[in-house]
Amino acid sequence: MPERKAKHTWRFVCATPVREVFAATEQMVGTPPYRFEPTGRDTATIVEAERRHFLFGQLSPRVRNPRWIKVTAREIEPGTEVIVECTAGKGPKARALQVVVLFSRGNRDRRTIYRERIIPPGPITLVASWAGMEYPLFLEPRYDAARGEPILTASKLTATGSYGTTWVKVRTESGAEGYVERDQVVPAPLEASRVAQPRTAALG
């Protein structure tokens, strides 16, 4: 029997890092009777692993022509491009829509961790958990890139741009440039006041 073909497809860009897309997808829709299976560097399939017997009703691991949901997530300059595909049927479509709704609404929903988090150009600092430790800059926006000048929480940094949902391009006081993971920095207002606190908090 031929493999089922995709019936529905959704494509969008979100502010969620790629690893979080797959982690949340596994927890949310990779549950019985479906199973989460990584199928590539930027793809995963949630496949029907069990099916109820049409007569007796018990779940059976012998599934002919299983239904599936496929999620592709890759980092591009505006953010994380997500493609969700699924086969025909209420079950696959409902699970696929859960993924689409979570990440596409997350850009605007301030209550979720998947919201768009903007680091505007200007002064920034490493988060406090790096106190007393060095963070070598990444010379390119990828984890296997060479590392450059180390920075500290006390280092004067300026955000000059961003790449995707993971990286912020920074310039140090010495003029060196590199990339820092977005979740490792916060805006650093020039003035320390109660007025600056809510303005800074709104960015995170």
Q: Which residue has the tokens 């019985």?
A: 32
Query: Phi and psi at residue 24, in whole multiples of 5°?
Result: -70, -35
Tell whether 75 and 128 lie within a shared domain.
no
**Residue 80 belongs to a domain:** yes
Q: Across residues 151-157, what is the average pLDDT?
A: 90
- Give the model's pLDDT for residue 55: 54
Range of the domain at 137: 122-203
Q: Across residues 63-70, what is the average pLDDT?
A: 86
77: CATH: 3.30.310
What's the number of domains the chain is made of? 2
Tell whether 180 and 152 lie within a shared domain.
yes
Q: Is there a contact between 37 and 44 (Cβ–Cβ < 8 Å)?
A: yes
Confidence bin at 1 (pLDDT 50/70/90):
very low
**Residue 143 belongs to a domain:** yes
The model's pTM: 0.62
Q: Across residues 27-56, what is the average pLDDT?
A: 84
Q: How does pLDDT run across 111-148, given as a tens digit for each residue?
A: 565 666 678 888 998 988 888 899 999 999 888 899 99
Confidence bin at 2 (pLDDT 50/70/90):
very low
**Residue 133 belongs to a domain:** yes
Q: Is there a contact between 185 and 153 (Cβ–Cβ < 8 Å)?
A: no
Tell whether 13 and 62 lie within a shared domain.
yes
Q: Which two tokens stand for residue 31?
A: 């549950």
Tell whether 129 and 98 lie within a shared domain.
no
157: CATH: 2.30.30.40
Which residues contact residue 185 at a Cβ distance below 8 angstroms, ignoring those fewer than 6 apart?
119, 124, 125, 126, 127, 157, 159, 168, 170
Tell whether 46 and 100 lie within a shared domain.
yes
- Give the model's pLDDT for residue 68: 93
| Helix 90-106 with 18-29: angle, nearest 10 deg | 140
* Closest to 173 measured CA to CA, from 188, 195, 194, 192: 188
Mean pLDDT of all residues belonging to the chain: 83
Tell whether 49 and 79 lie within a shared domain.
yes
**Residue 19 belongs to a domain:** yes
Query: At residue 107, what is the residue type?
Result: N
**Residue 56 belongs to a domain:** yes
Confidence bin at 150 (pLDDT 50/70/90):
very high
A 10 A CB-CB count for 150 gives 12
**Residue 117 belongs to a domain:** no
Q: Is there a contact between 164 and 140 (Cβ–Cβ < 8 Å)?
A: no
